Amino acid sequence: MIEFVNAKLNIGLNIVSKRSDGYHNLETVFYPIGKGSHGPDSHGALCDLLEIVPAQDGIDELITLGNKVDCPTEKNLVWKALKAFRNAYEGESPAVKIILDKHLPDGAGMGGGSADASFTLKALNKLHGNPFSDEDLARIALTLGADCPFFVYNRPCFATGIGEVMEPIDLDLSNYWIAIVKPAVSISTKEAFSMITPQSPEKSVNEIVVLPIEQWRDVLVNDFERSMFALHPEIESIKEQLYADGAIYASMTGSGSAFFGIFDSEEKAVKACDNSQCAFRCVVRG
């Protein structure tokens, strides 16, 4: 079984409050990007490839290809997803070989590792005859990461809590082209949250995204940008360049360091990608 694993963008991101458990309440819109992609286009790849097959020797195995995965197997979210599925499944679960071909960038705020984990759960569920509902899989996914449940549903959602409370929203960017660029800088989630002062926004993200995209620029914000620009001033110019190249809206996604710009033509999006000179750059249909 082969799965094409898409990423996500955060469209608006407000850190609302700090919780007693040390996590933060937030509000954001999760938007799947590269969904249905079957490999790289001329400007980069926006999917990971995940293949799960029976293990010939009866021993579980994880093989990683593509981008270097800098962690031991037991800490890889795909491996953790396999173990979490097995813990939840009550029947017999034969050993599998999992091949993960990584193209989504790490430290980007695009949820690549979380997506790999959730797609692993969904693929294993199919291989076992779909014993779990999406809601069941989302509960398992939450044990792996706050944004993992999103990739179980994989549709535009307004998310609150730590990102696990989701409601579908009617947001369709398919008439636009999206340029995604990531500089060499990688930002850890822990580092990003350590510099945030939580506060409730004047207007909620889900109120703003129903407005025409042309009105998003001055009101739809990512709270991580201010602190990340102070810590890594060289990345602020990336957002400025996206606007200079004609983006209708541009923002950092998640805690960074990838940025995206929404354009009204493929030509403008491609030009913006090339002008960014970032090592990772990609243009996809919204």
Catalytic residues: 8, 147
On whether the CB atoms of residues 262 and 213 are closer than 8 A, the answer is yes
What gap in Å lies between CA 285 and CA 190, rounded to an integer? 31
DSSP assigned state of 57: T
What backbone torsions phi and psi does residue 46 show, to the nearest 5 degrees?
Answer: -130, 45
Give the 3-state secondary structure of residue 69.
coil
CA–CA gap between residue 109 and residue 112 (Å, rounded)? 8
The DSSP secondary-structure symbol of 157 reads E
Please count the other Cβ atoms lying within 10 Å of the Cβ belonging to residue 23: 13
Residue with tokens 């290809």: 65
201 close to 189: Cβ distance less than 8 angstroms: no
40: left (phi over 0), alpha (psi -120 to 50) or beta: beta
Crossing angle of helices 266-276 and 236-244, in 10° steps, is: 150
> Tokens 């608006």 correspond to what residue?
12
Find the distance separating the first CA and the last CA of the chain, reported in whole Å: 26
Q: Are 11 and 112 in contact (CB under 8 A)?
A: no
